[in-house]
């Protein structure tokens, strides 16, 4: 049961006394508010919006609704205060309804079939070939992974796309460097770092011998022309890079349905360019080919340089048409940093001008930047934090904390991995995605406060309580024993989880789920410390409290899964 919708349904029934008002329960649910003070009710509905339709004063409307709702089993009392209708839920009935609904959902509480028959493509991570995976890729990877899980959870068919950065003259330079100074065994053994070392050497040597730049361009031309040797080396570079990246993806629990990168669209740009030219949208400007977007407050979209070279937007246009024709998406999300706001605004506008109606389902899911221990990352300055090293360090630090706090814990290595990796992911997804993140270890691995380890520990605490209760056997719950304020806070948080999941999906904002499970964990821990869960003299009350604990465990596990974090059963 979504309690908000249940309240809205009751009010919708009372609205029948106002035939001129046609609000349905979903619209009423949208009007409901949670009062800042519990003395004003569990939910409140402002009646000011109804005044014009009903031609009555808001206090009069609230009063009439209050009278119509008297006797509802869902409410212990209903009050009209000013222009507000304040409702107080019947605590015992609410506890039974919510806990029965959560536990009968079998781990799918908050899920839906809203996306049944619909497809969403999600473009995320998009690493560069022959470059190491660094902390700057964390947000795009984990936001995209979380969105894929959230949309799946709501019935959508999802297509996760890793749009690889695998096109450009740098790959000709890489082949040139490999042919001059590299060997296959060394690159195979050292992986991406071996290719990075060759690329760095190329630029050092090119400072002394500028003709190397021409050789690099010549090798890239061979890639463009499909030269067998160039393509074999280029393909191998990609295989080595993806092999290294897959190790990181496996640790993070991230997967993709497609690795079609920029090179995949090299033979698919022609029809797009032809269409732009035929429609008159593409015009010449200083030798280059552009789409003029001045009328829309944007600089021209550069489609081809004066030398005929294509750009990111050319390939993105080709990719958009390919994805729509292949997957027939209802939505296509691009999880890319906010520095690319203009690029995507231009991309979507050009598609609109081309008459590609599917542009309406395309959205740039922007996010902020990541700094490390108060310092901005800079590849040029050599200040880069590689993601595999960061994750290894997180696991190592988590292992040290576990050794100190729980020296007798079984499977310490496995739990350290769950906690360390989970702490990094949780930290990345805790704040609004548009906020910049300053990664600091003392915050990330703190077991108190709004952190991954804190929420994971709460899940483990619930599991511990339930293990201890196994010997009690099956008991009939008495839900009048979970009507105290602390239990009610937990129940309300459980009831609002489906609404949070929907909002997170609608806003492409995983942090909403992260914050919700944090608040649920806080509410349960307060309850845990204020109340004795198991009481041999009150088995019916014990059963109710155990069901509350079981529901919290399941919803925390679901919430953590949706943001890409594991839920340890022991810590």
Q: What string of DSSP letters covers 277-332?
A: HHTT-EEEETTEEEE--GGGTS--EEEE-TTS-B-HHHHHHHHHHHHHHHH--SEE
Q: In which order are the strands placed within the sheet that holds 301-304?
A: 282-285, 288-291, 301-304
pLDDT of 380 reads 57
CA dist., res. 493 & res. 517, Å (int) = 9
Residues 73 and 182 in one domain: no
Distance CA 101, CA 98 (A): 5
- Spatial strand order in the sheet of 437-439: 375-376, 370-372, 437-439
Chain centroid, CA 110 distance in Å: 15
How many angstroms separate the CA atoms of 102 and 360, rounded? 36
Please identify, among 73, 89, 105, the residue that sits at the C-terminal boundary of a domain.
Answer: 89
Do residues 421 and 391 lie in contact, with contact meaning Cβ atoms separated by under 8 Å? yes
Q: Per-residue pLDDT for 89 more than 80?
A: yes
Contact 427, 436 (CB under 8 A): no
pLDDT of residue 174: 92
With respect to residue 528, please indicate whether it lies within any of the assigned structural domains.
yes
CA distances from 494 to 1, 268, 378, 479 (A): 10, 49, 43, 15
Domain-ending residue, one of 89, 117, 150: 89
- Among 253, 276, 308, identify where a domain stops: 253
pLDDT tens-digit map of 318-371: 999 999 999 999 999 999 999 999 999 999 999 999 999 999 999 999 999 888
In a shared domain, residues 54 and 189: no
CA distances from residue 22 to 65, 87, 433 in whole angstroms, order as listed: 15, 21, 37
375 located within any domain: no
515 is a domain residue = yes
Residue 362: per-residue pLDDT = 98
Contacts of residues 46-52 at CB distance under 8 Å and 24 or more positions apart, as own/partner, are 46/83, 46/84, 47/83, 47/84, 47/85, 48/83, 50/18, 50/21, 51/83
Token pair listed for 453: 């380890």
Query: Quick one: 412 and 540 in the same domain?
Result: yes
The rounded distance, in Å, linking the Cα atoms of 62 and 40 is: 14
Distances (CA, A) of 466 to 28, 314, 529, 553, 564: 38, 57, 16, 10, 24
pLDDT value of residue 181: 94
In the prediction, which pLDDT does 474 show?
82
The total domain count for the chain is: 3
Is 101 domain-assigned?
A: no
- What was the pLDDT predicted at 375? 80
Q: What pLDDT is recorded for position 43?
A: 94
Instruction: Please state, in angstroms and rounded to a whole number, the distance separating the CA atoms of residues 352 and 329.
Output: 16
Kindly report the number of other CB atoms within 10 A of residue 567's CB atom: 22
Residue 228 lies in a domain: yes
- What is the full DSSP assignment across 166-217? --SHHHHHHHHHHHHH--HHHHHHHTHHHHHHHHHHHHHHHHH-THHHHHHH
Residue whose pair of structure tokens reads 């604990």 in the numeric block: 549
Residue 173 and residue 42 share a domain:
no
Over residues 524-536, mean pLDDT: 95
Provide the percentage of residues in the chain whose pLDDT is more than 70.
99
Under the banding of pLDDT at 50, 70 and 90, the label for residue 376 is confident
Q: What is the pLDDT of residues 549-560, one digit of tens each?
A: 999 999 999 999
What's the pLDDT at 294?
A: 96
Domain-located, residue 154: no
Query: Residue 222 sits in which domain range?
Result: 168-253
Residue 84: CATH number of its domain: 3.30.1360.70
Q: What is the CATH number of the domain that holds 412?
A: 1.10.730.10
Let me know if residue 374 belongs to a domain: no
Its pTM stands at 0.91
* pLDDT tens per residue, range 192-245: 999 989 988 998 999 999 999 999 999 999 998 899 999 999 999 999 999 999
Q: Mean pLDDT in the chain? A: 93
According to the model, what pLDDT value does residue 381 have?
62
State the average pLDDT over residues 309-323: 95
Residues 178 and 74 in one domain: no
Q: Are the C-beta atoms of residues 478 and 543 closer than 8 Å to each other? A: yes
DSSP annotation of 264: G
Task: Give the strand pairing for 119-123 and 157-161.
Answer: parallel
Is 555 a domain residue?
yes
Query: Could you tell me which residues come within 8 angstroms of residue 520 by beta carbon, excluding any fewer than 6 positions away?
Result: 490, 493, 494, 497, 552, 555, 556, 559
Tokens 């001008």 map to which residue? 353
Q: Are residues 417 and 512 in the same domain?
A: yes
Residues 56 and 198 in one domain: no
Distance CA 462, CA 548 (A): 10
The least confident of 238-242, 382-386, 387-391, 527-531 is: 382-386
Contact 349, 293 (CB under 8 A): yes
Q: 391 and 539 in one domain?
A: yes
Catalytic residues: 131, 134, 137
| Banded pLDDT at 382 (limits 50, 70, 90) | low
Label residue 489 by pLDDT band (50, 70, 90).
Answer: very high
Residues 425 and 552 placed together within one structural domain of the fold: yes
Whole-angstrom CA distances from 78 to 2, 70, 87, 155, 493 are: 19, 7, 5, 37, 21
CA-wise closest residue to 321 among 273, 289, 281, 288: 273
Tell me which residue has tokens 């079609």.
Answer: 260
Residue 17 pLDDT level (bands cut at 50, 70, 90): confident
């Amino acid at each position: 049961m979504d309690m908000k919708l249940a309240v809205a349904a009751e009010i919708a029934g009372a609205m029948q006394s106002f035939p001129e008002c046609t609000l349905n329960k979903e619209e009423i649910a949208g009007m409901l508010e949670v009062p800042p003070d519990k003395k004003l009710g569990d939910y409140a509905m402002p009646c000011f919006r109804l005044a014009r339709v009903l031609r009555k004063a808001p206090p009069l409307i609230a009063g009439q609704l209050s009278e119509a709702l008297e006797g509802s089993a869902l409410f212990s009392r209903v009050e009209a205060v000013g222009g507000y209708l304040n409702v107080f839920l019947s605590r015992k009935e609410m506890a039974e309804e919510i806990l029965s609904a959560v536990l009968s959902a079998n781990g799918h509480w908050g899920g839906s079939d809203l996306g049944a028959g619909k497809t969403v493509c999600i473009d995320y991570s998009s690493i560069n070939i022959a470059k190491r995976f660094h902390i700057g890729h964390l947000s795009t990877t984990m936001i995209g992974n979380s969105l894929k899980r959230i949309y799946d959870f709501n019935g959508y068919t999802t297509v996760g796309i890793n749009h690889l950065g695998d096109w450009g003259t740098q790959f000709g330079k890489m082949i040139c460097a490999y042919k001059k100074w590299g060997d296959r065994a060394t690159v195979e053994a050292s992986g991406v770092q071996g290719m990075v070392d060759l690329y760095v050497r190329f630029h050092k040597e090119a400072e002394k011998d500028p003709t190397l730049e021409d050789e690099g361009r010549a090798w890239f031309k061979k890639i463009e022309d499909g030269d067998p040797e160039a393509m074999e080396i280029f393909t191998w570079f990609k295989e080595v890079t993806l092999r290294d990246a897959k190790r990181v993806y496996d640790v993070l629990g991230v997967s993709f349905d497609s690795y079609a990168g920029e090179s995949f669209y090299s033979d698919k740009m022609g029809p797009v360019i032809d269409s732009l030219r035929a429609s008159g949208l593409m015009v010449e400007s200083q030798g280059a080919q552009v789409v003029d977007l001045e009328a829309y407050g944007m600089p021209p979209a550069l489609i081809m340089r004066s030398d005929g070279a294509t750009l990111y937007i050319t390939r993105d246009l080709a990719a958009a048409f390919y994805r729509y024709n292949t997957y027939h998406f209802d939505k296509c999300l691009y999880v890319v940093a906010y520095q690319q706001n203009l690029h995507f605004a231009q991309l979507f506008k050009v598609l609109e001008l081309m008459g590609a109606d599917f542009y309406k389902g395309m959205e740039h899911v922007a996010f902020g930047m990541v700094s490390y221990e108060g310092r901005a990352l800079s590849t040029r300055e050599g200040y880069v934090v590689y993601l595999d090293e960061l994750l290894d360090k997180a696991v190592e630090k988590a292992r040290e904390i576990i050794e100190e706090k729980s020296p007798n814990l079984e499977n310490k290595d496995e739990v350290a991995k769950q906690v360390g990796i989970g702490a990094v992911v949780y930290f990345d997804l805790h704040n609004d995605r548009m906020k910049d993140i300053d990664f600091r270890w003392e915050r990330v691995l703190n077991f108190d406060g709004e952190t991954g380890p804190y929420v994971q520990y709460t899940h483990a605490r619930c599991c511990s309580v339930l293990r201890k209760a196994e010997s009690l056997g099956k008991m009939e719950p008495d839900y009048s024993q979970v009507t105290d304020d602390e239990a009610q806070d937990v129940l309300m948080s459980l009831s609002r989880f489906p609404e949070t999941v929907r909002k997170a999906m609608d806003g492409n904002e995983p942090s909403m789920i992260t914050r919700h499970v944090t608040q649920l964990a806080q509410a349960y821990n307060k309850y845990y410390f204020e109340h004795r869960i198991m009481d041999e003299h009150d088995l019916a009350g014990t059963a109710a409290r155990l069901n509350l604990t079981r529901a919290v465990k399941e919803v925390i596990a679901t919430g953590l899964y949706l943001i890409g974090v594991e839920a340890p059963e022991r810590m």
